[in-house]
Structure 1
Amino acid sequence: MSFQTDSKPSVETQQKDERRAKRFYISLVLLLFAIQATILGTALKLAIGDPALAVVPDYHQAALNWDKSHRASLASDRLGWNAEVIVSNVSDAQGQRAISVELHDERGEPLDDLQVETMIYRHADAGAFQAIDLPNTGDGRYLGMASMPEQGLWQIEVSIGGAGEPMTLTRTLELEN
């Protein structure tokens, strides 16, 4: 007589294999979720935490009003004015530098009684901008102090009011310590 053995695994063995498979697939799903969450967290940190990726203030509004902004940037040439923006090469212990804007009309006469404002920011940290009013010191010169302690590329945007039409000047300069 021949005995046939049942080759079917026992119920207990099947349950063990099933539990092992459940643990594996649940662990796999959780591992993939953790990887995705890590990638998302890293991407958010890079997108929000890097100051070099900041949006320039009022950039959207300037883009919407491009014609007006472009006309204001050409106003000094159209009026024949000479506008010079000068930034001191040296800074004090707190990183303050003198900023001077000199304005003269087409005849070389100094232009006084204007409202001159500047917005200054470093290209590497455009989110940290500073707005400074430059008071008139006479002879068409408007003078103020700005905190510019770091080296690198700096943007200076000058708005001139009281000229009969809006006027802006934009200068980019590189500071080295």
Structure 2
Amino acid sequence: MIVSLLGLQVFGCLLALFLATSSSSMAVIPNYHDKAIHWDEHRATLLASEQLGWQDEIEISGPVDIFENRDITIYLNDADDRPIQTTHLSVQVYRHTNPNEVFVLDFEQAAPGEYVSSLRMTDSGLWEFEVEATRDDSRFVRSRTMEVFSDGPAKVSR
């Protein structure tokens, strides 16, 4: 009787250990420690981005094919609401429940200030979009949280 209870306890501990270490939803944000160490530089970059006056808007369509790919469109405008021609546009995307899986998107310019890419987004929930755009010596950085729905377009959460 006691041996079976001790065996049950050991099995329960091993099961808890397996569940705690195998779940991707309990992952830490990528490069979190490095981001924390360089927070002051990052904050200065964010302030410089705000001073540029650039505005970004992200649109995520509903699923466009049977593989649940979605079109992601980013609009970039300057302080005078003119389209921005970037020399570099980089966007990192990850789902809040699985931050270990980071997607780096390549965008094509569809029109002045309009950049289009696609991504397979099968899961609804909160997704983080980290946008970095450069033009000449100007660098724009912004992070957006978007709520993606399984059957329709997304909306900005913050």
What does residue 85 of structure 1 align with? 58
Q: Which has the higher helix share?
A: 1
Cα separation, 1, equivalents of 2:48 and 2:58: 16
Taking structure 1 as reference, are residues 36 and 149 closer, same or farther at Cα in structure 2, changes over 3 Å only? same
1:133 lines up with 2:84 in the alignment:
no
Query: Offset at 1:66?
Result: 0.9
CA contact (8 A) 1:72 1:165 kept: no
**Equivalent in the alignment of 1:63:** 36
- Describe the SS at the equivalent of 1:86: strand
- Structure 2 gap segments, 5+ residues each: 152-158
CA contact (8 A) 1:112 1:138 kept: no
TM-score, with length taken from structure 2: 0.80
Pairing 1:107–2:80 present: yes
Asked if structure 1 preserves the Cα contact closer than 8 Å seen for 2:86 and 2:133, the reply is no
Query: Shift in Å at residue 90 of structure 1?
Result: 3.7
CA drift at 1:89: 3.3
SS in 1 for 2:106: strand
Match of 2:130 in 1: 157
- 1:35 positional shift: 4.9
The answer to whether 1:41 aligns with 2:34 is no
How many residues are aligned here? 150
Structure 2 SS opposite 1:137:
strand
For structure 1, the residue ranges without an aligned partner over 5 or more in a row are 1-23
Higher-RCO chain (CA-CA 8 Å, sequence separation at least 6): 2
Q: CA RMSD in A?
A: 2.3
Name the larger-Rg structure: 1
1:158 maps to a residue whose letter is: V
Name the SS of the counterpart of 1:93 in structure 2.
coil
User: Would the alpha carbon gap of residues 89 and 70 (structure 1) be closer, same or farther in structure 2, given more than 3 Å must change?
Assistant: farther
